[in-house]
Amino acid sequence: MTTTEGAAASRGASRVLVLNSGSSSLKYQLLDMRDRTRLASGLVERIGEETSRLVHTPQAGGGGESRERNGRIPDHDAALRAAAEELAADGLGLDSPELAAIGHRVVHGGLRFTEPTVITDEVLKEIERLVPVAPLHNPANITGIRTAQALRPDLPQVAVFDTAFHTTMPEYAARYAIDVETADAHRIRRYGFHGTSHAYVSRRTAELLDKAPEDVNVIVLHLGNGASASAVAGGRCVETSMGLTPLEGLVMGTRSGDIDPAVTFHLKRVAGMSADEIDVLLNKKSGLVGLCGDNDMREIRRRIDEGDERAALAFDIYVHRLKKYIGAYSAVLGRVDAVVFTAGVGENSAPVREAAIAGLEELGLAVDADLNAVRSGEPRLISPNYARVAVAVVPTDEELEIAGQTFALVDN
Ligand code: AMP
């Protein structure tokens, strides 16, 4: 049993540190859950390289100037210590009795973790057992957890899983139509990702419609550099576009999304590529970047405005896939109350929203051009009054959701 097992936050403590550890990066945010405000945020990039960089931004009282540190940060331990020093310089040190818990984003929780979970030795072992199904993500998350445990062994550490929200998917949506024994032996099934975002955004959409989450059916389109769609019926996820890994589904910044799986055998047999090379091709060199050389939607739109045909085709392929998912999820849900756009592209790209909804009037969907053109950080409707189904933009906030779920578990 670790010192954190069953641990509760010290009475009255209301701050939560949220950590999102990647293979060579560490993102952090410190939030105060009394008033759900952000106190500071930061990012450490290129951990382990000579050119590591830490950018720290105080956020309290409307935010302050970012501070930067450059130069080698050898590992996650050093990265978290550097972040802790920056927080301490703002009077927000991690030794503060105000700190209630540390919440970790963990990408893969398999079938076991359906809820946020206080991290014990046994929980950590189970997250390690899931490494074969999340080889790119879970090892970094585990490093982040161990590092934070070393720094504050007395504090509750909570894992919030990207897959958890999708564990309500019915078996017929989660299972691939492949041999059952083979699938089960290797835990091959559709897990889905971005769950914290889909949970947060679908709930905020219900609020925007002034309804209880149980009373609304929502299609959430999380369009960031990674992208996924989900169908949420009465607050429960019933279908999502990512699968065993985040590669399935929509066209993304650098991932192909759906392809015929035979493309992979073809690449091996005909092009002589190894499994690792195909993995890199489909995850890092495909999607928008593979189609036109750019994965930033702003740049793609700029090129389209200049008459660039490759950029235009990439945009059309991206939007076509989105439309197919909107149609499919309308059928899955039967009745749709809202289609909601979120994340970097979804929140900011009016042309993507307009093109994805264009021609879907038969599904009750339409976008009002003026409302769609409004730039705002607030949840908002962009459909005309007459539309049967609401179309909305709801900014996601995965850190706030992780902090909220973490705090709910440890607050006493
Ligand atoms: P995310 O992964 O949610 O941070 O989203 C990152 C992506 O959002 C970038 O790669 C861009 O394609 C897109 N993005 C960010 N800002 C804008 C913007 N103002 N207009 C269009 N796309 C944007």
Å from CA of 182 to ligand 1 middle: 39
Range of the domain at 287: 210-398
Least confident of 24-28, 62-66, 392-396: 62-66
H helix intervals, 195-308: 195-208, 262-269, 275-284, 287-292, 297-305
Q: Do residues 134 and 262 share a domain?
A: no
The total of structural domains in the chain comes to 2
Give the DSSP per-residue string, 275-296: HHHHHHHHHHS-HHHHHHS---
| Residue scoring higher pLDDT (136 or 334) | 334
Q: Do residues 270 and 348 share a domain?
A: yes
Structure confidence at residue 133 as a pLDDT band (50, 70, 90): confident
Q: How many CA atoms lie within 13 A of 250 on its CB side?
A: 30
Candidates 78, 346, 404; CA nearest to 357 is: 346
Whether residue 172 is contained in a domain is answered as: no
Tokens at 93, concatenated? 């040190």
Whether residue 173 is contained in a domain is answered as: no
Structure confidence at residue 1 as a pLDDT band (50, 70, 90): very low
Q: Do residues 150 and 224 share a domain?
A: no
Cα distance between residue 156 and residue 152, in whole Å: 9
pLDDT at 132 over 60: yes
pLDDT in tens, 237-275: 999 999 999 999 999 999 999 999 999 999 999 999 999
Instruction: Classify residue 176 by burial, with Cβ atoms within 10 Å: 0-12, 13-18, 19+.
Output: middle
Structure confidence at residue 5 as a pLDDT band (50, 70, 90): very low
Per-residue pLDDT, 2:
39
Per-residue pLDDT, 296:
95
Per-residue pLDDT, 410:
93
Whether residue 116 is contained in a domain is answered as: yes
Structure confidence at residue 306 as a pLDDT band (50, 70, 90): very high
Structure confidence at residue 202 as a pLDDT band (50, 70, 90): very high
From 105, 221, 341, 345, mutation site for ligand 1 pocket: most ligand atoms within 8 A of C-beta? 345
Whether residue 50 is contained in a domain is answered as: yes
Instruction: Check pocket membership of 300 for ligand 1, CB cut-off 6 A.
Output: no
Share of the chain above pLDDT 70, in %: 97
What pTM was computed for the model? 0.93
Candidates 373, 370, 367; CA nearest to 391 is: 367
Cα distance between residue 82 and residue 44, in whole Å: 9
pLDDT, mean of residues 329-356: 98
Whether residue 311 is contained in a domain is answered as: yes
Whether residue 217 is contained in a domain is answered as: yes
Q: Are 52 and 41 in contact (CB under 8 A)?
A: no
pLDDT in tens, 153-183: 999 999 999 999 999 999 999 999 999 999 9
The CATH number for 347's domain is: 3.30.420.40
Instruction: Check pocket membership of 224 for ligand 1, CB cut-off 6 A.
Output: yes
Per-residue pLDDT, 23:
81
Candidates 79, 53, 78, 46; CA nearest to 67 is: 53
Whether residue 191 is contained in a domain is answered as: no
Whether residue 242 is contained in a domain is answered as: yes
Instruction: Report, as residue numbers or ranges, the catalytic residues.
Output: 162
- Letter string b/e over residues 306-322, b meaning 16 or more CB atoms within 10 A of that residue's CB: eebeebbebbebbbebb
Per-residue pLDDT, 174:
98
Cα distance between residue 350 and residue 382, in whole Å: 10
| Residue scoring higher pLDDT (333 or 24) | 333
